[in-house]
Structure 1
Amino acid sequence: MSEEKLMSKKKPSYPVNKQLHLYLNEYNRNIKIPIFYDDLLRFSGSIVVYDKNDQDTLWVRVYYSEFEREEIDLSLKKVYTILHSDGNEETIPFLNVDAIDYCTFGNSKPFRVKIRNVLNDNYTYFYVKKADASRIYGLELEHMLSPHNLNFLVYKDTLIEEHIAGIPGDVFIKEELPKVTESAKSQIAKEFVKFNERCMIRLLGDMRSYNYVIVPVHDFDHVVYRIRAIDFDQQCFEGKLKVYRPQFFKENNKMVELVQEKLQKRSVDQYKIEERSIVARRMLATENQLEDLLLCMLNDEISLIDHINQLKTEIFNLTGDIEFKKSSNMGEVMKAALDFVRRNYENVNMRRLMME
């Protein structure tokens, strides 16, 4: 199935409503910052950014008038101190804005800011985007239900995201995957199964290979590979359930082939069960905050009625759970999905206790 048929052509941006702003304020995500996304759009010109192989990265490096650059640089340094510490401005003289890049590809059209510490030449990135409710829900669900914590800030219509380090999935599949050991390929296949299951459970869509990164972690005498989502624009929007399963994107065919080659069906089923159990435990550990987030989603509009009707029908056909059929918006579909996972986890535990 082609990606044109699998996904809608363009997802609209959904505004952050008052209830979601109150939630963000309650959980220290809503913090005043000195610059807005629209301020960065005032660049005077740009040049194309190429990668090490002289390929167009679809990013352009922007530049500003001398007067505006001084003000923008200072504001971005302040944002960095707010994002990574307590906003203490004593470190600002030791920071330098090395580059501001603008992405011309995709929905979010983010700015990527490179900040360098002049004392030791260490550098990091952060992103400035238009605040979109879908993306914020995606970030918070990733923070609560995945193995990875996320750091981001929202102020009015601007979203600041920290950089997620790793090798872009498409680059890894093309350049690194053929070189790893056979045992590493088995571990990557296992990780892809768990990643695929996690995306489906929490309805994170469009995990094509360039929307996630592979993170190599050195552990004693070998390397363990983790997969992390880096794009949360397609949270709970599309109507086709396949969009929430990375295995159905042609860009991930090599990963699917790896799973088929390295793992037996029994192992695949085992890893899916493991991931559902881990997600259920995270839901219990973050119960109060998750309930507050879902309450925002229940009272928000983050998809189209046709998508809602299609998705709830497809999941009902898969699970037989009547709660999906009764859902009237994406928040209710999301809640039904998480409740379904938690109920199954609790039922399994109950059966185990009874057997003991």
Structure 2
Amino acid sequence: MADDVKISKRKAFLPVTEDLESYLDQYDRLYSLPATYADLRGFTESYPLDDKHGNATHWASVLYPQEVREHLYPRLTSIYSLLRTGDMQAVPHLFVERVDFCEFGNSRPFRVRVVNQYNDNYDHFYLKVSDASRVYGLELEHLLSPNRINYLAHGGTLVEEHIAGVPGDAFIRDHLDRPEVNRVRIAKEFVKFSERCFIRLLGDMRSYNYVIDITPDFEDVQYRVRAIDFDQQSYEGRRNIYLPQFFKENNAVVWLCGKLLNLPTMQQYQDEERSLIARRYLSEHQRLSALIECMKKNPREPQDKVIQLARELGEHHHTSRFDHCDSMGAIVETNLEVALARHLI
């Protein structure tokens, strides 16, 4: 089992630059929002929120004075409508049942539960502090992964849809040992997920930062591992931060991969994933180039981390192509080109 990788300090927020804001506007991510992250900070009380089994979570439900609720909650349903339909007009049968707050993590998110009063069906969305690293991570996920990402941005606020799935830590704890779980498919999907993370340099994929999307198929069940936290997009300087197998929280799945998959099979799955990413890279090349140009044009990440990551990736790939990378944007661009080279011919 690999040594555990730790991130010792909370990541600094990187401001959204004018160039990145222009990019978001060009690709229909930028909207004037009727409520902001700062508006939700005005709660006066909170109480711990347990899960359905009575276990403590990192979330607390927050309460607002009645006069604040009367103005804030309709604006939140308008944001939900905008996120889901592109229309600011709030649907009258939707209402906000609860707002939760999480102190854990970099983005300190608010989670809003919206309920349909006709059938009690509910959905969630999130308001977070806008951060350039997170925006880059969301965009790269949308462009290069098999998953489409729905989010909105404005000023210091980021609005994200809920990504459905069983949290990775809960899946490992409660599902992995069940007899009906297809462990080979879980191992396969973790290898593919790890490959996606490393190629686009998404870090800190501990088990609570991804979910397992479970889809019944005609003969069995299909799984997909999906990232839900994008704060550590190309920020840290250590290569292993971008390799999920080096986090102790993933040890049970890493052990499963080693037990059930031999090296040729792992290499096959990695190659399959690189081929798929290369196709997306080519089909989205114009938009991807514009995004990377934003990353390169106004680098705000610590320079010592840039130097370290360029050196470690150069050693990993046995190439000098990273030697002149002076920003994380340049490193992401080079890592994509080097990792996908055989598939881009």
TM-score class, shorter-chain normalisation, is over 0.9
Give distance in 1, aligned partners of 2:90 and 2:80.
12
Summarize deviations over 1:110-163 as a string: whole Å, max 9, x none. 000000111222111000001000000000000010000000000111000000
1:313 and 2:302 are equivalent in the alignment? no
Aligned to 1:346: 344
Query: What are the equivalent positions in structure 2 for 1:31-110 lying under 5 Å apart?
Result: 31-89=31-89, 91=91, 93-110=92-109
What secondary structure sits across from 2:96 in the alignment? Answer: strand
Give distance in 1, aligned partners of 2:242 and 2:216.
30
What secondary structure sits across from 1:269 in the alignment? Answer: helix
Summarize deviations over 1:233-282 as a string: whole Å, max 9, x none. 00000011100000000000000011011111110011111111111111
Aligned to 2:18: 18
Q: Is the 8 A contact 1:133 1:302 kept in 2?
A: no
Aligned to 2:213: 215
Give distance in 1, aligned partners of 2:69 and 2:33.
17
Q: Is the 8 A contact 2:59 2:101 kept in 1?
A: yes
What secondary structure sits across from 2:322 in the alignment? Answer: helix
Aligned to 1:151: 150
Give distance in 2, aligned partners of 1:88 and 1:303.
35
Aligned to 1:354: none
The one-letter code matched in structure 1 to 2:97 is D
Query: What are the equivalent positions in structure 2 for 1:190-339 lying under 5 Å apart?
Result: 190-339=188-337
Give distance in 1, aligned partners of 2:314 and 2:263.
24
Question: Alpha-carbon deviation of 1:219?
Answer: 0.8
Aligned to 1:30: 30
Question: Alpha-carbon deviation of 1:10?
Answer: 1.2
Summarize deviations over 1:46-97 as a string: whole Å, max 9, x none. 0100112322101000010000011110110110110000315262x10110
Question: Alpha-carbon deviation of 1:319?
Answer: 1.2
TM-score by length of structure 1 reads 0.94
Give distance in 1, aligned partners of 2:88 and 2:119.
19
The one-letter code matched in structure 1 to 2:162 is H
1:126 and 2:125 are equivalent in the alignment? yes
Structure having the larger proportion of residues in helix? 1
Give distance in 2, aligned partners of 1:252 and 1:242.
13
Give distance in 1, aligned partners of 2:63 and 2:10.
29
Q: Is the 8 A contact 2:186 2:223 kept in 1?
A: yes
- RMSD (CA atoms): 1.2
Question: Alpha-carbon deviation of 1:9?
Answer: 1.2
Question: Alpha-carbon deviation of 1:320?
Answer: 2.5
- CA change 1:57–1:234 in 2 (3 A) is same
The one-letter code matched in structure 2 to 1:26 is Q
Aligned to 1:167: 166
Question: Alpha-carbon deviation of 1:180?
Answer: 4.1
The one-letter code matched in structure 2 to 1:230 is I
Give distance in 2, aligned partners of 1:52 and 1:78.
28
**Which is worse superposed, 140-149 or 172-181?**
172-181
Question: Alpha-carbon deviation of 1:318?
Answer: 1.2
Give distance in 2, aligned partners of 1:175 and 1:298.
42
Give distance in 2, aligned partners of 1:292 and 1:177.
41
Give every structure 1 segment of 4 or more consecutive aligned residues whose post-TM-superposition deviation is greater than 6 Å.
none
Question: Alpha-carbon deviation of 1:302?
Answer: 4.1
